[in-house]
Amino acid sequence: MATREVPLLLLLVVVMVLAGAGAARGFYLPGVAPRDFRKKDQLAVKVNQLSSIKTQLPYSYYSLPFCRPATIVDSAENLGEVLRGDRIENSLYVFEMREPRLCQIVCKTALTHQEAKDFREKIDDEYRINMILDNLPLVVPIRSLLDDHDAPTSYQLGVHVGIKGQYAGSNEEKHFIYNHLSFLVKYHRDENTDLARIVGFEVKPFSTKHEYDGEWKENETRLKTCDPHSRRLVVDSDSPQEVEAGKEIIFTYDVNFEESDIKWASRWDSYLLMTDDQIHWFSIVNSLMIVLFLSGMLAMIMLRTLYRDISKYNQLETQEEAQEETGWKLVHGDVFRPPARAGTLCVFVGTGVQFLGMLLVTLLFAILGLLSPSNRGGLMTAMLLVWAFMGVLAGYAAARLYRGFRGSEWKAVAMRTALAFPGAAFAVFFVLNALIWGERSSGAVPFTTMTALVLLWFGISVPLVFVGSYLGFKRPAATEDYPVRTNKIPRPIPEQPWYMNPAMSVLIGGILPFGAVFIELFFILTSIWLHQFYYIFGFLFLVFAILVVTCAEIAVVLCYFQLCGEDYEWWWRSYLTAGSSALYLFLYAAFYFFTKLDITKVVSGVLYFGYMLIASAAFFVLTGTIGFYACFWFTRLIYSSVKID
C-alpha cells in the first residue's frame, strides 16, 4: 500500500470504529458503573437461558413450567446477546439487601404429562439454569476432591435443572428436580457510608419433597419440611422431589448474605480463575519456545543461503557465466507474471486483510479491558462491528493488487470482495439457524436480527469496500515498479522433485502455523463449547503474533525453494502454503468433538461442524493472506538485490 495512503485509511477506520462504539455504548463498551445498595434495598434476580453442553441448544427459562411472574419483561439485549441465544427476563426471586430469608415459597405447581416429559428431557441433557444478579452470573461452588484447604474453589456456571438417581433398594432410574435453591450473596461494605456492593452470587441446589398441613393457601401456608420457626431447614436431598405428572412441586429458596473482602473491581477474578492455569502457562511457554527456536533456525538458514546466492550472482561478469546461472535468478523474467485467476486471488487477499484488521482491533480493545465479560455478547458485537468497518481495507488491498496485475474490472473485484466470503458464511449461518428454529430453541436468531445483520453488511461493509477499492485502484500499484521486467513469452517450468509437488509443499507448510496455535485453540474451543469464560487476551495476542511470524517464515522458505527449482508460479502457492493450516484446524476440531464433547443430537453435531467450518474458512483467508504478503515482500527484496542486464 502507498505510504501516504495507509495512515489516512487507518485513521479513517479508527475514527469510524470509535464513532460506532460511542453510538453503540450499550453494545460493547464497558458502561458498567458499580451500584451501591443500602440495607433492605430490593435486589431483583433475572433469569437467562437454559444451556447444555450436550446439545448446544439454548432455551428460554420459561420454556419449562417454572414459577412465572404476572408479566414477563425482556431486558435490553445487544446484537451479540441475541446471536448467543441469551434471553434475559425478570423472575419471582426478589431479595432485600443484607436481609437473610429462609424457606421462601415461590409457587406451587402440578405438572402435566407434557411438562413432566419436558423436565425429564432437560435433566437427561444436563441443562443448567442461568441467573443474573447485579450483572453477576449465578455459579455453583465446587470444592476440590483433595483434602487441601488452600486449593482455590472452582465454579460451575449455572445450576442444573435436576439430577437422575435411584431410590434405596431400587435399580429403576428416576428424575429428580432441584426445587429448593440456597442462595449466597457476597457483598463488600463501605465502613464510612454503610453502602454495600455485590461481589458474588452463589447457589447450592437441593431436591426436597415439601409437605404441608391442611389446604394450600397462598402466602399463608407453612411447610412442614422447611420452617425456620421450628428450625427445620433444607440441608440435603435425602427426600427428593421426583418429576411425575400430576404430582405437586413446591419451589422454595433461601438467601443468605456474607460480607467479603473482595472489592467490586475484582469481583470477576474468582469467576475467571482457571483450575488448570499452570498447565495453560506451561503449554503457552512451551509452544512459544518451540516456535521461536524453529523460526530462528529457519531465519538463519535463509539469511546465510540468500547472502551466498546474491554474492555469487553479483560476481558473474561475463556473458558466458551469466548464461550458466541457475536457481532463482534464472526465472527473473517470469517471477512477476500475473497468475491464473488473478481476480479471485485479489478477492481472497482483500478478505484476509479485512479479518486481519478485525482481529488486531478487537484484540486491542480486549487487552485494554474494553470487552469485559460482564458485557454479555460484547465480544461478538465488537467483532461484527469492526469487521464491517474494515471493509475499507479489504477493498483497498484487493483493488491495489488487482491493478498490479494490470486488470481493469476493479468494480467486479470490489463486488466479489464485498459479497463472496460474507455471502457464503451467511448462507451456512442461515441453514444452521433454520435447524435451530426447528428445535424451537431460543438460540434461533429472530428475523429482525437477521435484518440488522444484512443492513450491517450492505449498509456499512459493502459501501466501505467500494470506497477502499476506489482509493486503491486510483493509486499507482506497487507492482508497477517491479525490480525486473516480465518476458512476453513464458519460460517452461522444469519437472519438479516429488517433495516440491504443489500438494506436498502446501500440506507441509500448514503444519508449523497450526502447531503455533493448537494449544491455545484447545482453551478457546473449551470456552466456547463447554460454556466457560475466556479472558486471557494478552496470551491470545502473543499467540497471534507467533502465528503471524510463523506463517510469514514458512511461506518465505517454501517460496525460496520453489524459485530455486525454477518454478515461478508462486502467487497461489504462497497463499495456500500458509492457508493450509486451516485444514489442520478443522481436523483438530473434529478430534475435539469426538474426544472432549458429549454431544448426542444430530442437529447439535451439525451446528458444531457448521460453525467450525466458518471459523476454519476465516482462518484460511487470514493465514493465507499473511503468507502471500510475506512472499510478495520477499520476492521483490531478493530480485532488487541482484544485478540483471
> Per residue in 269-313, pLDDT tens?
777 765 455 655 666 676 677 677 767 767 776 676 667 666 766
Most confidently modeled of 3-12, 529-538, 628-637? Answer: 628-637
Residue 507 gets the label, from left (phi > 0), alpha (psi -120 to 50) or beta, of: alpha
**pLDDT for residue 12 is more than 80:** no
pLDDT band with cut points at 50, 70 and 90 for residue 23: very low
Residue 277, pLDDT score = 56
Least confident of 2-11, 118-127, 148-157, 597-606: 2-11
Angle subtended at Cα 566 by Cα 561 and Cα 568, rounded to the nearest 5 degrees: 85
Query: What would the mean pLDDT of 488-516 be, rounded to a whole number?
Result: 81
Nearest to 167 by CA among 221, 240, 103: 240
Residue 440, pLDDT score = 87
Nearest to 464 by CA among 379, 361, 350, 620: 350
DSSP-based three-state secondary structure for 240: coil
Domain boundaries of the chain, sorted by first residue:
39-269, 274-309+342-485+509-639
Q: Crossing angle for the helix pair 571-579 and 602-639, nearest 10 degrees?
A: 140
C-alpha cell, 404: 498490479
Tell me the pairing of strands 128-133 and 136-137: antiparallel
Residue 424, pLDDT score = 94
Query: What would the mean pLDDT of 526-544 be, rounded to a whole number?
Result: 79
Look at the alpha carbons of 628, 634, 637, 638 in this order and tell me if their dihedral is positive or negative.
negative
Give me the residues paired with residue 204 across strands: 182
Least confident of 218-232, 243-257, 280-294, 443-457: 280-294
Q: Are 359 and 544 in contact (CB under 8 A)?
A: yes
Least confident of 14-28, 61-75, 371-385, 555-569: 14-28
CA dist., res. 118 & res. 125, Å (int) = 11
> Per residue in 189-231, pLDDT tens?
988 888 999 999 999 999 998 888 878 877 778 888 888 877 7
Q: Are 74 and 89 in contact (CB under 8 A)?
A: yes
Tell me the pTM: 0.83
Q: How far apart are the first and last CA of the chain?
A: 28
CA 379 to chain centre: 8
C-alpha cell, 393: 481495507
CB atoms within 10 A of CB 287: 19
> Per residue in 108-142, pLDDT tens?
888 999 999 999 999 999 999 999 998 889 999 88
